[in-house]
Amino acid sequence: MNINSDINILGNLPDYNFIKYFLDNNSGIDSFSGLSEIKTTKSIKRFEKAVKASFLHCFNESIKHLMDSVYKNESISKDYQFMLFWNMSINNDLFHYLNNYVYFPSFYSGRVSIKTIEVKSCIIDLKSNNAELKTWKPNTVVEISSAYLRVLKKLNLLEGTLHKTILHPFLSDKMFVLFIYWIKAIETNSNLLESEWLKYSFCEKPVFIERLMQKKFSKYFQLLYTGDKLKVETLIPYSTIYHAIK
């Protein structure tokens, strides 16, 4: 695993609408004039590095087409925040790990909330056999744990202050199709039922398959489902898929 402190930095970014300054390559100190939450060039550069590395770096050209299409047409919308969540999960190993062992188990088991102590325990367990984490001090673990939940809240996946309640988003038809294209862009296993990324659809596997097989989606992808295997082939170029389903 490639471990860094981006979660802590992004958890402290006051408003994710600030991301547009980095997307538009307009990250100078003057761009943030009047924003009292970010006062120094050093702070801006710190946020910029984390935003670009974890949120905006694109795994491949297909992912870049998806990210750019949503942003250029919607700016920092709730749908674009789904893209940020998915993209950070690709780019940030610790974020993906915590999603797998804290967020999604709670989400899919019907839990109401997630506590900081759960995230802390998960990181401590990982720390015991991960050389990169062994140098982390106890207060660093606590800070990262709290920041992780703040990131999820800022991405509209949790709500609340002291007690973080789990929200259960439902992907619109547009975002469901974009999710299919997203998972196809990163998954090397031809059988999507075995993909570790399937949980990022925010729905149980039977519900996912039932929705995937709806006739209205047949113009966007074709599929072969045999009960234990699922193969999907996209039909529209990544550069135009957003406008095809808009």
pLDDT in tens, 142-195: 999 999 999 999 999 999 987 899 999 999 999 999 999 999 999 999 899 999
* Residue 233 pLDDT exceeds 60: yes
- Domain with 195, as residue range(s), is 173-245
Q: What end-to-end distance do the CA atoms of the chain give, in Å?
A: 37
Token pair, residue 165, equals 């309640």
Residues 11 and 100 grouped into a single domain: yes
Residues 124 and 192 grouped into a single domain: no
The answer as to whether 82 is a domain residue is no
pLDDT in tens, 19-56: 888 887 655 455 554 455 565 677 788 888 999 999 99
The answer as to whether 227 is a domain residue is yes
Token pair, residue 54, equals 């974890």
Across-strand partners of 164? 114
Residues 106 and 213 grouped into a single domain: no
Non-local (6+) Cβ contacts of 193 within 8 A are 205, 228, 229, 230
Residues 183 and 123 grouped into a single domain: no
Whole-angstrom distance, CA of residue 66 vs CA of residue 80 = 10
DSSP state string for 69-135: HHHHHHSS-HHHHHHHHHHHHHH-HHHHHHIIIIIHHHHHTT-SEE-HHHHHHHHHHHHTT-TTTTT
The answer as to whether 153 is a domain residue is yes
Question: What pLDDT score does 25 carry?
Answer: 61
pLDDT in tens, 99-139: 999 999 999 999 999 999 999 999 999 998 888 888 889 99
Residues 41 and 150 grouped into a single domain: yes
Please name the helix (run of DSSP H) or strand (run of DSSP E) that holds residue 221, with its range, or none. strand 221-225
pLDDT in tens, 58-75: 999 999 999 999 999 999
* Residue 83 pLDDT exceeds 80: yes
Domain end, chosen from 104, 130, 162, is at 162
What is this structure's pTM?
A: 0.93
Please compute the mean of the pLDDT values over residues 194-223 and round it to a whole number: 96
Question: What pLDDT score does 34 carry?
Answer: 45
Residues 45 and 96 grouped into a single domain: yes
Residues 29 and 99 grouped into a single domain: yes
